[in-house]
A and B are shown apart, each in its own frame.
Chain A
Amino acid sequence: METAIIKERQTRKFKDVAYFRSEETYTLLPFRFHRMPDGREILVNEIGDYMVVPSGTTARIINREINNNDPEDAVLYEDLVAAFFIAEQAVPDLLEVMATRYRTKKSFLDSFTSLHIFVISLRCEHTCHYCQVSRVTSDKNKFDMSRVHIDAGIDMMMRSPARQLTMEFQGGEALLAFDNIIYAVEKAKVAGEQHNKQITYVICTNLAPLTDDMLVYCKENNILISTSLDGPVYVHDKNRHKPDASSYRLAVDGIHRCREILGEENVSALTTTTRLSLDYPIEIVDEYVALGFRNIFLRPISPYGFATKSVNKNKYETSRFLEFYKTALQRIIRHNLDGYFIREDYTAIILKKLLTPFPVGYVDLQSPAGLINSVIVFNYDGAIYASDEARMLAEMKDFTFRLGTLGETSYEEVFYGEKAQIISEAMLNESLPGCSECAFQSYCGADPVFNYATQGDMYGFRPDNAFCQRNMELIQYIITLMEDDKQVEKIFRSWITGKS
């Protein structure tokens, strides 16, 4: 027994390195990581906070090699604790805080479906080559939404648990059925008051049929205008063919008139990126700046409907889009550096997810997915679709995402019925193959309609999925830009605070 009592002789010499290597001193908290091409690692925790660390850091964290007694690790250790990557107790003290943060991130679910799209008419006077849906016709009866369907759509909208609703009128060209819009707005105003709802009205239009009377009505009813501007005249007019007139001229004149009467903040424009646009990233951005816009939304063309048939004109590689997007984003940053505030909206959405604890209810980038949960579409013929893309698919005679018919299908069947349940199985990126391990899960989303349209099933196959390729690359790119240039980070932060 004597030997057992013999203690190691205490000495004053320096301690061995192993002494400083902390033993199981901390607990891992849930996080994922992504390896960047240069070897750096992006760590993202369960509540969406991120850190960029040198190569090999993840392995060191997991092997419990980060030692807060080591001066070289002290800052990293503190950052990891403060940002919820590791905890000093087995069950972290701040579990409640983490749960609340998680809840906040998902709180876009609280209000359920708020965006209701009414395809008020399918008629259009344009003949755009990439357009999936519209018809050049004067047959109002066949291609305008009937009053019966408008009434049923408003009834269904009033059943939404959301207090704040958005009623968006789309086409075809929505303004061709302005009488329908007036009817719908007047009906919705009364119903909204009865059901204690606040309704925001939006008209999506190419502005060509805009009249002063329409503007007066929009002004009186606080109706917002969302238009399309694809860039300079030689891009816009090629994308949006209008027999005997310049679509660009009509759009730009319309924007000026809308700004004058409705105010600048009530008019917004979206770009649709086509194969042609890919050659003009700088020119498109400069056009928006020249027209005084403070934001630009560079959207990739959707892979649905007629667009997929027009292979030569519309099928372009995601990598080409990414190249285009990065060039355009650099140009936008340049304008900001030169003192002109202009924000790119897709980046701003991702930034809000990266830099703030707030929920971002952007339909295309959320999990659970935005279709049904955030948006529902009432088509001109009364058909109800899970999203705008779902109705475009239906134009190709694929009714997979058709949820019912206005006036015939009950609210419960539409939102909680068998079809909604089947779709909802593929709505969570937390449980999709590939996404479940992906560091960018909380910034990205799930898009069953996109997966179905491009790959034939709602779950999708991530290794060659365009949605995945695009988002993985863009999220990484945005983080890299901020990490490598603090001036860019400052600009990006101004995009989400609105303060430069």
Chain B
Amino acid sequence: MARFAMLIDASRCTGCNACRIACQMQWQLPPERYFNRLEHRERGIYPNAKWEIVPIQCMHCDNPPCRDVCPTGATYKRTDGIVLIDSKKCIGCKYCLAACPYGVRQINENGVPEKCRFCAEYIIEGIMPPCTSTCMNEVRVFGDLDDPNSKISKLMAKKEVYQLLPEKGTKPRIYYVKK
């Protein structure tokens, strides 16, 4: 059984936004809608200051509040861990949007709150998500945690990693490399 996850090394990110655009191309999103975003923060005091960039997208949480609150079960989690939305079942209540602590959902033209899909249809054919493959600095590593030989499994064993907002109890599937 696959257990898909992503490891992000934010310190390598240059802020070029190619991941965002590759994803928009993949899913034919209009310019104002995006499934991944970059958050910026400044650290330290000049001249010892640093500009940090953190890529953020749906965390495909193992305990996803968006799935729990969805009244019709339109939001669901596959056995491989990917959280998806069945837009036929979605009634547009936007409860999932209110429930997601990461602010990654975006209302589409039909009133369905969409988000990153981990490119579910593509990865089963072995194709990497474009946000991962397009990046010139290999900020993202996508793969199967149940496969001990996958790149992500090996990296996770070596590096110290953390998750965002662990206090919310969502158990994200996206890990970040500690600096």
Pair from one complex: no
